[in-house]
Structure 1
Amino acid sequence: MTQDLVYDQIPISFGFYTKKTFSNFIVGNNLDLYTSLLNINKDKQLILIYGEKSSGKSHICEALTHSDLGHYLNINENTQLDNIDCHAEYDLIIIDNLDKIILKNDCEEKIFSLINNQILNNTSAVVTSTKDIDKCNLKLNDLSSRLISDKIFNIKDLNDEEKIEIMMSYCSDRGLEVSEKVLNYIINNCSRDLYFLCAFIKTLDHVSLSMKRRVTIPFIKKAISLHAN
């Protein structure tokens, strides 16, 4: 098989996975949010987090599931909400991508009941959205009011240095040796979307292993030119 064929037959994969915890969460300019999350069980609070795709919201939700937070319920856009008891007692409820969940399900009453039950039981909830609640077009005013009744954080995007730090960590997790100079080249010549960047690294790892080549800037240039066509 020629080298070009090896490049061509390994598309960018978005199925990358590294266990997401608070220890590998890059805080950046989100210190207040980070502190609130670490104290969520002690303070008993409702936290609303909104921000763009790949800003770290799902990382936070997964990190919460790996924390010692007792009995929790984790809801995302693939969850079968009909099977959930709104009056069950949970130490924490995590609702990831609320704006996507309500688009797929007629579930505002259910979400409201779940969150309200947490508040009545003096327990916590974390809700994320890619949009500010005012832009989610919620039909249930009680849900809108409840979501903005406690702490609201607009998660701030990472700068390039912080993204490179995450990429370095991801490379290390995979046993892939990539210099900071190469990572700078990637971030300056590809999408700055962190999800894409990590997926691109996974692809480079596969290709470099298949071709038995180190990941260098010429190697990156070739991969970028082929995937751009």
Structure 2
Amino acid sequence: MSTQLPLAFKAGTDHRFIDFLGQDPVRQAFEQAAEGKAAHHIFLVGAQGAGKTHLLRASAGHALALGQAAVYVPLTRASGMLAEVLDGLSGLALVCLDDVQALAGNRDAEEALFHFYNRAGAEGMRLLFTATAMPAQLGIGLPDLVSRLEQGLRLHAEVLDEYGKRRVLQRRAAGRGLQMDEAVLDYLFTRVSRDLHTLSQLLDRLDHASLAAQRRLTVPFIKSVLHTEG
């Protein structure tokens, strides 16, 4: 039974390098890796909301747009069947593995990633990892895996401040043909959430509702959507 397809990355307009407003050196490193200009793997560390998943998805999408075989794998969903998932990833140019900390303490998953890392090196795959801490601080029980993960370029992503999150949300809305003014942003950041992941999911719902109702994004319209869904 194949376990690759449910986890396959699908490119979308919400995950582009241009929308990442964090540190330029971090974005540039991922963009170069996606383009095949970096032979090493990258291990990116950061807290929730730092844009780690966004960078991985943008990398996979960019590689796909360039005609390279790439995939995004969320390890929080795949840890229980990781060996099967990784066995289906031969022949790819780029593999993006999100949330390595999800494997810590799972011996089978740790060994599966260790063997995949070795195979990826032999096949010339480029690997991008994200986690909440550096390899040695994740509680991984397999020393050889920690050693492998520490061999590549290690970077740290900072969490965006509110101004940065506002600009990201505006860009993502504009990419869908939606205008999001400061009054709307004020409402969302004070009444809904300041978490960019939650706000991005809400933008998906607002986009569909706006298209269905042929309405622009205003505070009263957003209130009506949230009231209806509630």
Quick check: TM above 0.5?
Answer: yes
Counterpart in the other structure of 1:142: 144
Residue pairs, 1:181-192, within 5 angstroms: 181-192=183-194
Q: Tell me the distance in 1 between the aligned counterparts of 2:147 and 2:16.
A: 29
Counterpart in the other structure of 2:26: 33
CA 1:65–1:82: 2 relative to 1, 3 Å: same
Q: Alignment partner of 1:127: what SS? A: strand
Q: In 2, are the aligned partners of 1:50 and 1:128 still within 8 Å (CA)?
A: yes
Count of matched residue positions in the alignment of Structure 1 and Structure 2 = 210
Counterpart in the other structure of 2:197: 195
Q: In 1, are the aligned partners of 2:105 and 2:139 still within 8 Å (CA)?
A: no
Q: Tell me the distance in 2 between the aligned counterparts of 1:121 and 1:213.
A: 51
Counterpart in the other structure of 1:56: 51
CA 1:142–1:87: 2 relative to 1, 3 Å: farther
Q: Tell me the distance in 2 between the aligned counterparts of 1:91 and 1:24.
A: 22
Moved more, 202-211 or 120-129: 202-211
Counterpart in the other structure of 1:3: none
Point out the structure with max Rg over C-alpha.
1
Q: Tell me the distance in 1 between the aligned counterparts of 2:48 and 2:166.
A: 18
Higher helix share: 2
Q: Tell me the distance in 1 between the aligned counterparts of 2:169 and 2:89.
A: 41
CA 1:140–1:147: 2 relative to 1, 3 Å: same
Moved more, 97-106 or 118-127: 97-106
Residue pairs, 1:68-217, within 5 angstroms: 68=66, 70-77=68-75, 78-79=77-78, 80-83=81-84, 84-85=86-87, 88-102=90-104, 106-205=108-207, 215-217=217-219
CA 1:135–1:31: 2 relative to 1, 3 Å: same
* TM-score normalised according to structure 1 size: 0.73
The question of 1:45 aligning with 2:40 is answered yes
Counterpart in the other structure of 2:13: 19
Q: Alignment partner of 2:49: what SS? A: coil
Instruction: In structure 1, list runs of 5 or more residues that go unmatched.
Output: 1-16
Moved more, 205-214 or 65-74: 205-214
Q: Tell me the distance in 1 between the aligned counterparts of 2:182 and 2:114.
A: 46
Per chain length, whose mean CA-contact separation is higher, i.e. which structure has more relative contact order (CA < 8 Å, sep 6+)? 1
Q: Percentage identity across aligned positions?
A: 24
Q: Tell me the distance in 1 between the aligned counterparts of 2:219 and 2:70.
A: 45
Q: Tell me the distance in 1 between the aligned counterparts of 2:222 and 2:112.
A: 48
Q: Alignment partner of 1:154: what SS? A: strand
Instruction: In structure 2, list runs of 5 or more residues that go unmatched.
Output: 1-10
* TM-score normalised according to structure 2 size: 0.72
Q: Tell me the distance in 1 between the aligned counterparts of 2:150 and 2:126.
A: 14
Q: In 1, are the aligned partners of 2:48 and 2:159 still within 8 Å (CA)?
A: no
